[in-house]
Amino acid sequence: MSRRVLTLAAVLLLLAAPLVLPEFYVTLLNYIGLSSIVALGLVLLTGVGGQTSFGQAAFVGIGAYTTALLATRYGISPWLTLPAGIALTVVIALFLGFITLRLSGHYLPLATIAWGIAIYYLLGNLELLGKYSGIAEIPPLTLFGVALADGRTFYYLIWLVALLALFAVSNLLDSRCGRAIRALKGRTTMAECFGVNTARLKIVIFVYAAVLAALSGWLYAHFLRFVSPQPFGVNASIDYLFMAVIGGSTEVWGAVIGATVLTFLKQWLQELLPKLTYESGNFEIIAFGLLVIVMLHRARDGLVPYFARLVPADRKRMLPVASEPPPRRAQPQRGDLLLELQGVAKRFGALVAVKDLSFEMRSGEILGLIGPNGAGKSTVFNLMTGVLAVDAGKIVFRGERIEYLAPRDIARRGITRTFQHVNVLASRTALENVALGAHLRGHAGTLSATLRFDRAEEARLRHEALRRLEAVGLRGHAFDAASTLPLSSQRLLEVARALCADPVLLLLDEPAAGLRHLEKKALADLIRSLRGSGLSILLVEHDMDFIMGLVDRVVVMNFGEKLAEGSPREIGTNPDVLEAYLGSVA
Amino acid sequence: MNTAIALWLSQDAVMNGAIYALLALGLIVVYTVTRVILVPQGEFISYAALSLATLQAGAVPGTVYLLIIAGVSVALVDTIALVRRSPNRGAASATSPRNDASGAIARILFWNVLVPLLVAAAAWWSASRRDLLVLQVLVTIAIVTPMGPMLYRLAFQPLANASILVLLIVAVAVHYMMTGLGLVFFGGEGLRSQMFPGLTFQLGILSITGQSIAVVITAVVLILVLAVLFGRTLYGKALRATAINRIGARLVGISAEFSGRLAFTLAALIGAVSGILISPITTIYYDTGFLISLKGFVGAIIGGMTSYPAAAIGAVMVAFLESFSSFWASAFKESIVFTLIIPVLLWRSLTAQRIEEDEEP
């Protein structure tokens, strides 16, 4: 039984459920559908994007109260209050996102707790919103003149929206933006180096999740036809997080499974425990906490990934169909001045990592950057790609100063790199990792990805990624998770990803480390053929045989300074270089 | 507002700020060492305050039974882990495997079964002895503090490598459990323990209670002791090493489990002391601790969850904000405290220079 069949079965079960289940369970399923929509936002934001929010219930509240107020007091049609609620949510989410998401770590959780508490008090204290007693007699939704007043009818609306949301988020995650979103969790530097505006993308997924929550709130208000502040507090937000985590916060179906398990668990504990203990106490909260802990001890990634192991993945992975490559950029004229470092310096506290470094590079050249460990080579890469800010000096690329630019702007100008410490999305396939390199060669945004308007472009990007994988000899591993490849192959994966960006200048940080002899030879051939196609390459490497047979010129660094510069032959006999590497001969 | 009121509010703020600073410290130790955001820190406060009040009322608090049950569970889990591991240990303990194992089991039983039983005996004996206030305080600390490492062993050690998010969810689940148990042990009624015998004296227009001085002095002393512990002792250095680089610390032989237990012990001790300090000042309910520790958390966040001095300053800021807003707009006290964090965030966001790398997934 494949996953596709399981999904289909789940949808059919959902369709049939209200025909056979008693009213009570239909209501329960309605609540599960409403929660699934919110938890789905958290899968995108928290599980995949790595940003924790404690404020989703408050966004549900915004959606619910907007329609409640506009529909009861001003008699506006519920179909018009939906866009109003969403617009309000977007404005608030943009503000909260702007002040917190440019920072790392803990600021979003805190700001959303603050926002959740504030909105709860606001809803409870405003006369206009009925204070703590809320707003009643919200009109039902009407569709073609038929009022959706009955739970069984409303069931289909809720689950239609939930399944559409599920479809939308899976589409988004399976796209150019989706690859970038996955990199937000702990790989922001790498993503920035391939042109992803990570701060903006974090805000985008925060707004996306907030809109899903507001949509759920709008449905909630017209389903229950009554709103009060209680279900929109921080506790409810925490419940949504529980759902996402227990279901499996990296999978879209995790939201549905988590919402189902949690809702039934709470319901059963409330019914069952008073019968067992003969007193109504807070035993259900104790049992609930205990069960959650046990569940996460057994399946820390959530229930969906835990059981997904039992179901074989769909075997036939579709290789990307052949399609024309995405547009390439024009390479500069061979021999033109490409890159110039002038007096570049970088210090970390008292440690001088790079000191008064100057060299230049011409287009179509392979330049080797060598030096003993700790000479500052990787720091130079980080300065050139904007990952670190220079303390002094200029970096000029094609006549333009770039030392003050952000990594993504430098990437846009055609400088791409690999990382000394392999920096890949471990659980994603090799193909996806390489396709991330082509981020700047595509343009489809979150909306077109959600609506599947990006397929033609996506096919081009994926096929380009496959061609690059083939170039480094990893075509056979296209669908293997990156973490399952040996380290040397992961290095080649990085090379393929960098090539996928169609660079003008390629920075390779120890690409041959750990490679076997034949693999090194293949890599050297690849690098030569790249030069043949007009690419310029700056190469950091420790393997002297590899580098000396390959490069046109060498710059030698020691203790952050340039020690020597020249052809491989000159460098090989330079006494200063020999001393730096081997110690004094005399 | 006149000067007298301002001074009075400030006194209140300094006292609360000292406690928030302590709590922030505990949260940061636990977070940096184990990556757990210790949501149940607040329950240690409630448990300590209510246990003390129960002892003073002449009864044995329910937390004693929890301590015994948790201890037995830890002993079980540890023994099972020991038995499962022993066949693989092979050569290392080949000389006297039996002695080695029985010694380990004896140690497990001593710390997790015998000690809790001794604490229970002390609790039973000290209950109702109103003359032995200090003893009751010590017994309360002895009840609550061991719960820290036991909690770590049972709930968090098996998940040591899980993501921060999963650890957070487990922490919230533990918080739910412990709050529910608190209701079972102490009921919904609030309790207030008896004031430490002390004097009230007049400083200008301000009357200062012995209690508030006791709070500030205890907090400051405890912070200094912790500073010495971190700066000067091997255990403290082990904790700091784990906080800075978990893998590196492990490579030089610092056990992550040990550091985790130690961090949780400190956090529970801090919670217990804070609970005892505030219990004579305000009525404590089974769920009061959470809100108190949340303010410590806000202080810790202002300090970026890593810097102790910044967290202490943040905690005192929170206390002042709370104190003065309770005078001007008491209904909105809680929301003002939490909402005024937003300008701090805005400021930090606008002054942030480059993209910061998040923690590894």
Q: How far apart are CA A386 and CA B224, in angstroms?
A: 42
Chain A interface includes B359 (CB < 8 A): yes
Residues of chain A above pLDDT 90, percent: 56
Phi, psi of A131, rounded to the nearest 5 degrees: 50, -145
Q: Which residues of A touch B162 (CB under 8 A)?
A: 296, 300
How confident is residue B359, by pLDDT bands cut at 50, 70 and 90? very low
Per-residue confidence (pLDDT) for residue B163, from 0 to 100: 85
Cα B307 from Cα A509, distance rounded (Å): 34
Closest approach of chain B CAs to the CA of A389, in angstroms? 9
User: How are strands ordered across the β-sheet holding A400-401?
Assistant: A351-362, A337-348, A392-397, A400-401
- Chain A to chain B Cβ contacts (< 8 Å): 148
Query: Closest chain A residue to B162 measured between Cα atoms?
Result: A300
Which 3 state secondary structure label does DSSP give B320? Answer: helix
Q: Domain spanning A3-13+23-308 has what CATH number?
A: 1.10.3470
Q: Which of A192, A347, A257, A232 is nearest to A32 (CA)?
A: A257
How deeply is B177 buried, as exposed, middle or buried, from its count of CB atoms within 10 A (0-12, 13-18, 19+)? buried
A283's CB contacts (< 8 A; 6+ apart) are: A273, A274, A277, B180, B184
Residue A55's closest CA among A102, A123, A103, A117? A117
Pairing verdict, β A536-540 and A505-509: parallel
pLDDT (0 to 100) of residue A1? 56
Chain length of chain A: 586
Sequence ranges of the domains in chain A: 3-13+23-308, 333-414+503-511+533-586
Please report the pLDDT score of residue B177 as a whole number. 94
Q: Is the pLDDT of residue B159 over 80?
A: yes
Mean predicted confidence (pLDDT) in A321-344: 87
CB contact under 8 A, B345 and A99: yes
Q: What letter would DSSP give residue A187?
A: -
Could you report the per-residue pLDDT of A41-98, keeping only the tens digit for each?
999 999 999 888 989 999 999 999 999 999 998 989 999 999 999 999 999 999 888 8
Residue A290 distance to chain B (closest CA, Å):
7
φ, ψ of residue A563 to 5 degrees: the values are: -95, -40
Model confidence at A5: pLDDT above 90: no
Report the pLDDT value the prediction gives residue B192, as an integer from 0 to 100: 83
Q: Which of A408, A381, A412, A429 is nearest to A189 (CA)?
A: A408
d(CA B51, CA B120): 12
CB-CB: which of A238, A286, A389 is closest to B172? A238
CATH number of the domain at A333-414+503-511+533-586, please?
Answer: 3.40.50.300
Q: What is the pLDDT of residue B176?
A: 92
- Strands of A561-566's sheet, edge to edge? A415-417, A505-509, A536-540, A366-370, A553-558, A561-566
Question: What chain B residue is nearest to A302 in terms of C-alpha separation?
Answer: B166
Kindly give the pairing relationship between strand A366-370 and strand A536-540.
Answer: parallel
Residue A359 in tokens: 């060299």
Nearest by CB to A102, which of B175, B349, B359?
A: B349
Return d(Cα B108, Cα B79) in angstroms, integer: 7
Mutant choice from A51, A110, A185, A249 vs B, greatest count of B C-beta within 10 A = A110
Task: Return mean pLDDT, chain A.
Answer: 89
Q: H or E element: which one contains A434?
A: helix A430-436
Task: From A103, A81, A335, A340, select the one nearest A203 (Cα to Cα).
Answer: A103
Single out the residue of B21, B33, B304, B48 nearest to residue B182, CA to CA: B48
Lowest mean pLDDT across A191-195, A545-549, B135-139, B326-330: B326-330
* Residue A297 distance to chain B (closest CA, Å): 7
pLDDT in tens, A224-246: 999 999 899 888 999 999 999 99
Parse chain B into domains and list their residue ranges.
3-86+99-351
Partners of A114 on chain B (C-beta within 8 Å) are 338-339, 341-342
Rounded to an integer, the average pLDDT of B64-93 is: 82
pLDDT for A572 equals 81
Asked if the C-beta of B338 comes within 8 angstroms of chain A's C-beta atoms, the answer is yes
For B246-305, the pLDDT digits (tens) are 888 888 888 888 899 999 999 999 999 999 988 888 889 998 888 888 888 888 877 766
Using the beta-carbon criterion (under 8 Å), do A199 and B172 form an inter-chain contact?
A: no
pLDDT, average across residues A504-527: 90
Of B159, B176, B361, the CB nearest to A296: B159
Does ipTM come in above 0.95?
no
Q: Do A114 and B179 touch (CB under 8 A)?
A: no
Work out the pLDDT band at A585, boundaries 50, 70, 90.
low
Judged by CB atoms closer than 8 Å, whether chains meet at B170 and A198 is answered as no
- Taking CB atoms and an 8 Å cutoff, what residues of chain A touch B46? none
**pLDDT tens digits for range A271-319:** 887 777 666 556 888 888 999 999 899 988 899 888 888 877 665 566 7
Q: Do A118 and B354 touch (CB under 8 A)?
A: no
Q: Residue A208 pLDDT > 90, yes or no? A: yes
In chain A, residues with a C-beta closer than 8 Å to the C-beta of B177 are 285-286, 289-290, 293
Residue of B nearest to A47 (CA): B165
- Residue B356 pLDDT > 50: no
pLDDT at B92: 47
Taking CB atoms and an 8 Å cutoff, what residues of chain A touch B298?
110
Angle at A454 between CA A449 and CA A455, to 5 degrees: 120
Chain B partners within 8 Å of A293 (Cβ)? 155, 170, 173-174, 177
Residue B340 confidence (pLDDT):
65
Confidence of residue B354 (pLDDT cuts 50, 70, 90): very low
CA distance A404 to A395: 9
